[in-house]
Amino acid sequence: MIQAIIGLGNIGQKYAGTRHNLGFELLNALSYEWNVKPSPGKGNYFYAQHYIAGRAVTLVWPTTYMNNSGIAVKQVAETPELKPEEILVVYDDLSLPLGKIRIRTVGSSGGHHGIGSVIEYFETEAVPRMRLGMGPLPEGADQVNFVLSNFSEEEKEIADKMIGQAANAVLYSIEHGIEEAMTKYNNNPAPEE
């Protein structure tokens, strides 16, 4: 059962609203919906807790920057001791079109340094994750500059709808399990523009 939702992103106003911060954007939406505010954790992260069906679910914003996300996940998982399957990691994915979400229980990093850092800490690829589409990379564009760029107004509308859908998928994952959430949400088309 999912006990913690880890959103991957980069801290600081400079990165707010960028494509690479979709994990943070989802946590911000959930914390707003659940009326909880993040507080500093006992490590390199902020956290907020909400009770669903009588059990605590923790939202976690690492403050290590994307490429070292595993440091914060390690700190969160140590107390109380959390197994990889009890954590859902949410992050952006360039290989998915903007608006699409994908939930998996296992998989490689796909070149994403944030989830790669988490996999390295747990020493297993069996870490549940939700990928939020922000691609494709425009032809000739620099990948680093693209992922750290802001959405256009038109793209922002699609991204906001995706965040809403992802928030529903997180709640469904908590209540019904990852496998059922995969069946329900992985085949959904991208929200209409």
pLDDT at 80: 72
Q: Which runs of consecutive H residues, i.e. helices, occur in 50-185?
A: 69-78, 113-122, 143-147, 153-176, 178-185
How many domains, in total, are found in the chain? 1
Say if 190 falls within a structural domain: no
Say if 193 falls within a structural domain: no
Say if 180 falls within a structural domain: yes
pTM of the full predicted structure? 0.94
Helix (H) or strand (E) holding 58: strand 55-62
Q: How far is CA 76 from CA 73, 83, 131, 193, in A?
A: 5, 11, 21, 37
Instruction: Give the active site residues.
Output: 20
Say if 68 falls within a structural domain: yes
Give me the percent of the chain exceeding a pLDDT of 90.
91
- Binned at pLDDT 50, 70 and 90, residue 81 comes out as confident
Say if 42 falls within a structural domain: yes
What is the domain-level CATH number for residue 100? Answer: 3.40.50.1470
Token output for 71: 């440091």
Cα 25 from chain centroid? 8
Residue 192 has pLDDT above 80, yes or no: no
The conformation of residue 18, written as its DSSP 8-state character, comes to B
What is the extent of the structural domain holding 176?
4-185
Say if 11 falls within a structural domain: yes
Say if 136 falls within a structural domain: yes
Say if 191 falls within a structural domain: no
Q: Rounded distance, CA 95 to CA 98, Å?
A: 9
- Binned at pLDDT 50, 70 and 90, residue 188 comes out as low
pLDDT in tens, 13-70: 999 999 999 999 999 999 999 999 999 999 999 999 999 988 899 999 999 999 999 9
Residue 190 has pLDDT above 80, yes or no: no
